[in-house]
């Protein structure tokens, strides 16, 4: 294990401070390192491994597709692409989809679609987008521009212009930023990296009303909170509103790198046209085979129902932990997207948990974050609580 870590440190660009473990394989909701040690996974690759590890239907779909064809480019049609597009539009209620390689690329596409929509409307180049403080949308130059954290932005200035920031769950602060140049408002339905903050219902409905009133597009980032994680296929579906553009990724491919941005017909008809946007790998037959398998398994395994029932149990166990522990201040989150606010640095608990065979991660500066596979059971929750109590 030490040798593998040394090779990696000698050759990989040091943009991550990795924990001292080399994972080798996974089974169900458990990971195993190269020494054979077993870990209960409550991070799922930062919310990616929705089906856990070793799902047979998922593996078969990918193996079968490898035997056929993995790539042809977007100059041609493929059956996996057509089926994946139909399925994701059906479960989201959106009308058109563009498949990308990541959530960050999905954000880039959403920004371009919003600006093109506004340009088609009035031919101006001075449109503005309102984003939220403490948000996180990715690390490319466009996604970074709408990420409300100066720490991430400062070394890379200047970013794309025309971005203004308001406070999450503060409708008045959003109203104060709107003018005749505002073309879109972008936010996470549940802020992830910023500390696990769900949008309040009145706030999100208020945003939707503002967008309708001023002909502004609402862009919802569901990269982390989407794909069933909060107990709805997409978190916004709990709020009785609908975005104009939505971005998803992570659990969409359940381990295969894929993302997507989706939009309504009204936006699609007046925004991106042939030549405006593209991707070499996005939506290739291999990743679309993964999407199809994931969406089929959501139905076959009753994933949404499991998140709702087991998620409620997880919340109750975490709430009890808050009342029992002097280190835990509070809990925030929905379903299988949970955060515990701590009095100590989360890294201290994360390291102790790793030693004890539990994988958890952090969010913000003081939150212990839990994003387990969507197939965990109440027994797994009990196992996690037992380990976490000792670590705390």
Domains and CATH numbers, the chain: 2-55+302-391 (3.90.1150.10), 69-300 (3.40.640.10)
pLDDT of residue 55: 98
pLDDT of residue 143: 98
Residues paired with residue 339 on neighbouring β-strands, in sequence order: 332, 369
Residues paired with residue 340 on neighbouring β-strands, in sequence order: 331, 368
Residues of the chain with pLDDT under 70: none
pLDDT of residue 285: 98
Pinpoint the alpha helices (H) of the chain. 2-11, 44-47, 56-68, 79-92, 103-122, 141-145, 150-153, 171-175, 201-214, 265-268, 285-300, 303-324, 346-355, 378-391
pLDDT of residue 309: 98
pLDDT of residue 258: 98
Per-residue pLDDT tens over the stretch 277-315: 999 999 999 999 999 999 999 999 999 999 999 999 999
pLDDT of residue 261: 98
């Amino acid at each position: 294990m030490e040798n593998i870590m040394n090779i990696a440190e000698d050759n990989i660009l040091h943009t991550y401070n990795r924990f001292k473990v080399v994972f080798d394989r996974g089974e169900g909701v458990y990971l195993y390192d190269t020494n054979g040690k077993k870990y209960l996974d409550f991070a799922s690759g930062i919310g990616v491994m929705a089906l856990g590890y070793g799902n047979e239907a998922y593996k078969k779909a990918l193996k079968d597709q490898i035997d056929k064809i993995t790539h042809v480019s977007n100059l041609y049609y493929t059956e996996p692409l057509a089926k994946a597009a139909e399925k994701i539009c059906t479960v989201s209620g959106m009308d058109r989809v563009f498949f990308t390689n990541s959530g960050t690329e999905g954000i880039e596409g959403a920004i371009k679609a919003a600006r093109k929509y506004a340009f088609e409307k009035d031919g101006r180049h001075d449109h503005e987008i309102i984003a939220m403080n403490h948000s996180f949308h990715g690390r490319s130059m466009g996604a970074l521009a709408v990420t409300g954290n100066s720490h991430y932005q400062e070394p890379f200035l200047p970013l794309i212009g025309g971005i203004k920031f308001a406070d999450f769950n503060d409708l008045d602060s959003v109203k104060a930023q709107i003018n005749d140049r505002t073309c879109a408002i972008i936010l996470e339905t549940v802020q992830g990296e910023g500390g696990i903050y769900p949008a309040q219902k009145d706030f999100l409905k208020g945003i939707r009303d503002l967008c309708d009133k001023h002909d502004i597009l609402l862009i919802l980032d569901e990269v982390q909170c989407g794909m069933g994680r909060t107990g709805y296929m997409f978190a916004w579906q709990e709020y009785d509103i609908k975005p104009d553009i939505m971005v998803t990724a992570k659990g969409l491919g359940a381990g295969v790198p894929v993302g997507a941005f989706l939009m309504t017909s009204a936006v699609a008809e007046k925004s991106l046209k042939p030549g405006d946007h593209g991707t070499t790998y996005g939506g290739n037959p291999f990743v679309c085979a993964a999407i199809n398998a994931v969406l089929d398994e959501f139905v076959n395994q009753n994933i949404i129902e499991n998140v709702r029932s087991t998620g409620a149990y997880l919340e109750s166990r975490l709430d009890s932990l808050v009342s029992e522990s002097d280190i835990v201040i509070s809990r925030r989150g929905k379903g299988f997207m949970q955060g515990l606010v701590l009095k100590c640095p989360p890294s201290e608990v994360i390291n102790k948990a790793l030693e004890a065979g539990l994988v958890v991660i952090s969010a913000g500066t003081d939150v212990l974050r839990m994003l387990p596979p969507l197939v965990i059971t109440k027994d797994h929750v009990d196992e996690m609580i037992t380990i976490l109590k000792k670590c705390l």
